[in-house]
Structure 1
Amino acid sequence: MARIDILLPVHNGLPYLGAAIASIRRQSVRDWRLLILDHGSSDGSVELAERHALADARIELLDFSYANGLAELLNLGLERCDGRYVMRHDADDICLPDRIAQTMAGFAQHPGKAVISGQAELIDADDVVIGALRLPLGSDRLSAASLFRNPISHPALTMDRALIGRLGAQYGCDFLGLLPAEQRPRIDGLAEDYLMFGQLALLGLCVNLGRPLIQYRWHAANVSSRRLREQIRLSLTISRFLARTFCRMHALPEFDPAPFCNHGGQLLATEDSDFDAAFAVMAQSLRRGLGASAQLERELRYRHTLAHRRLPHMLLRYARFRQQYPAETGEWLTLRSWLLRHLPGRALMEAA
């Protein structure tokens, strides 16, 4: 039995699958088992995976072509795991050579946490580094940030299987069970990771390391680029679910996080422009539920930037925010996309 099981789902991932597998085989830590979860590939991915399995006994190919969506595929994979830890990896990303070593050090540094993830380098289809994915640090930050976006890189994370098992945590479902059945979402794909790890973040069980663990590939075939609008819609549903769950956990009045969410670097389009009063209510609830901390205040300062949608107010608030805090991925992009959508004459240009 390996100490670390690695779940790698694939559906027609031939262009990058070989590099993804090779990056795992190059890990400085050798005590792992790779489970390749095939979801009905027909492009040669299965044959490529079989060749790697013949060359390395730590690699197993599993046929889950019958799985109903990515959530079920990953849950089927979880059922086959018996190692202490479960690592996720995508078929088009690259593990940095010391990813496992850094992750194990993270679990030792943060005892009692169920999830360790980290930062990422962004690469294009030709393996050229084009940027960096900068995500928040600290479990208090992740608890607060999870109400407004997914602050955890799913392809870079590793789970403590024992802790996950005790909680009954699975992909795509409400495992905390604090809300009535009609308010409990079921997500088959696109945001199944946000639903699972958002709940774990509310419990304070997630940490992001400050260093990159993977190279995340951004290309035209990414699900997040092809189905962005649907993913944002599902993510808003999850944000509202997480907010209701948070309020139930701490016996607080419910609030709507949607005006302050920035899924996919986008703000919810609304007729109202002033959400300052709603922000004050939300901020009070978060401070009561999470307790005062510098991590929470950092998250609230950014959400306050989004609470007034008139352009001068947003820009002034963001300038003040940046005087105190460095930017993270998606923060300036959110304001930029809103500004571009509402510049004078923009509607006429788009109509033309």
Structure 2
Amino acid sequence: NCEVYIVGLRTPPARSGHRCVADNTNLYVFGGYNPDYDESGGSDNEDYPLFRELWRYHFATGCWQQIRTEGYMPTELASMSAVLHGNNLLVFGGTGIPFGENNGNDVHVCNVNYKRWSLLNCRGKKPNRIYGQAMVIINGFLYVFGGTTGYIYSTDLHRLDLTTREWSHLKPNNPPDDLPEERYRHEIAHDGQRIYILGGGTSWTSYPLDKVHAYNLETNSWEEINTKPHDKIGYPAPRRCHSCVQIRDDVFICGGYNGELILADLWKINLQTFQWSKLPAVMPEPAYFHCAAVTPAGCMYIHGGVVNIFENKRTGSLFKIWLAVPSLLELCWERLLKAFPHLSSLPTMQLINLGLTQELIERLK
């Protein structure tokens, strides 16, 4: 049940190192990198080999649109972190070209409704200028872990209070040799009390997934958790540059790179049992440095990535897969859109008269 989308007039060129987020209505894709001059827009792309752009993929119509935004769009466009907080896309860190030379440590916010970028003015001890870090919002705090300057890999954990806009560097209560190994291009999951670090590595290594480092926010200390292997299959291979999405207590990792192979597998770990399960679906093409996001309804979209190491080739493909059983609402909605593709062109009053809820009408815009 993976479907391929190549619709609309223009689609985002093939890329890697970009990030994406999703709500009920759109997949937003920001940034990315492609050293192939023709593929990345040639002389039309003044940011070559980077993409200084924000795209949206509209689920209801299957159309891509490059969003024209106001304000200052960040120039660190590879391996930044992105998270959607209400209508605000928060982007932190990342690197320009050459990698490691032009890193960022600012938080840029794009309101996706008003299509306007602004810089979050922050106080306190902010992280170094890094890329390849992972971040997550928990209870109004933005947590940032790991990353690299391009030369030094980090095991730092920083926290930004989104209310007071103050950064703090969290000092764990562990002895120094009890910290997770420094890394980049890992992923993060959380259960409200702990932050879990999944995989990642350096340019010469990838970390295994049989043990998971967890930061306990209540005791302010790192813990190491032994996970349980999938019966007869074992653990997912070590990896970096993979993708990760979370639905309640289930965390799904997909693809990535282990130093020699590009991976295409899809795994789930449950944060209550720490049981790994390998899912039967595989990515239509193995990829790393791709991006993934899950809708509130439980549908995961994956976009782009590096698909061939030797040819240094990237893809612009978009795939989707349901990770949860769709609700009756979602099933009916997909059926309705298939039967009446022109629905989005109808005036709002007509949609109301047809019996559509406000929430569904908003998905058509």
Q: What is the TM-score of this pair, normalised by structure 2?
A: 0.25
Higher relative contact order (CA 8 A, sep 6+): 1
Q: What is the TM-score of this pair, normalised by structure 1?
A: 0.25
